[in-house]
Amino acid sequence: MYVQRGNAISVPVPISVFSAQPAILATAGNGIGQGHVYKIDAQSNQILADAKSPAKAGDVLVIYSVGLGPVTPAVRSGDPASFSVLSNVNAPVSVTIGGQLAQVLFSGLTPGYSGLYQVNAVVPGGVIAGSQVPVLVSVAGSASSTGIYMAVQ
């Protein structure tokens, strides 16, 4: 890449362009710590999976993310995702919780929002309990930051 202003041209700088660069959103808004990871209760309420309300094996989670890449059907940049037709991530998405592979039920845009993805996954068995269990989302050869966690009992 180079920058041109008038007749002046910068020195070329190599850049990388990825089809996806996943990131789980953090509740603090700083990219680290407790993730926006919610367990779903029997009434379909989303409850933050933190130390006060840890998830357990078999719970269905909603993990809010960005950067999961192209979706089908496509949504125009800046437009909210449809409520009637779900837009699924094109590349396979995987989730690990405490190093254990989780079953992914859905990965796509969150209906009603622009650029917000959600990954619905099931907490696997064998996760060591704790209030800071690492959660990773991977897609197209890229993984989210290792600084995001959730609570598991």
Contact status, residue 33 vs residue 26, Cβ threshold 8 Å: yes
84 has a pLDDT exceeding 70:
yes
pTM of the model: 0.89
Mean pLDDT (the chain, rounded): 95
Q: Which tokens go with 80?
A: 């909210």
Which pLDDT tens digit goes with each residue over 3-46? 999 999 999 998 877 678 899 999 999 999 999 999 999 999 99
Which pLDDT tens digit goes with each residue over 55-69? 999 999 999 999 999
